[in-house]
Amino acid sequence: MTDTPDTAHSAAELRTRMTQHIDAALALLDGIPDPIAREAAGRLLADDLLPAAAQRVKAMRGAAVRDLRAQGLTLKAIAAQTGLSVPRIDQLAKDK
């Protein structure tokens, strides 16, 4: 994948912002003084919230690929632009 300076900057900024949000959630856990409550909150994050977020991200990625397909891009073109393989692009388009 070849990034233009704007794309690379955007990716770096997105990474920074997402990391800050994750760090805030972890700091929230660290700030719970009661060990039982802290463990329960950690379990909530690890077992419920993160898997649910991963499912939402997967759906968003599939929708993005389908949007690109609707614009007339081929799987090969999308793969070239994203740096993913054609089979992976096909899987994303099929929500797999």
Residue 83 counted as domain residue:
yes
Structure confidence at residue 8 (pLDDT): 60
Residue with the two structure tokens 């009661």: 34
Residue 93 counted as domain residue:
yes
d(CA 41, CA 69): 40
Structure confidence at residue 96 (pLDDT): 87
Q: Where are the alpha helices (DSSP H) in the chain?
A: 5-30, 35-43, 50-70, 75-82, 86-93
* Domain around 96: 49-96
Residue 21 counted as domain residue:
no
Confidence of residue 87 (pLDDT cuts 50, 70, 90): very high
Q: Is this prediction's pTM over 0.85?
A: no
Whether 60 shows a pLDDT value over 70: the answer reads yes
Residue 67 counted as domain residue:
yes
Residue 66 counted as domain residue:
yes
Q: How far apart are the first and last CA of the chain?
A: 22
d(CA 92, CA 44): 28
Structural domain total, the chain: 1
Number of neighbouring beta carbons within 10 Å of residue 58: 13
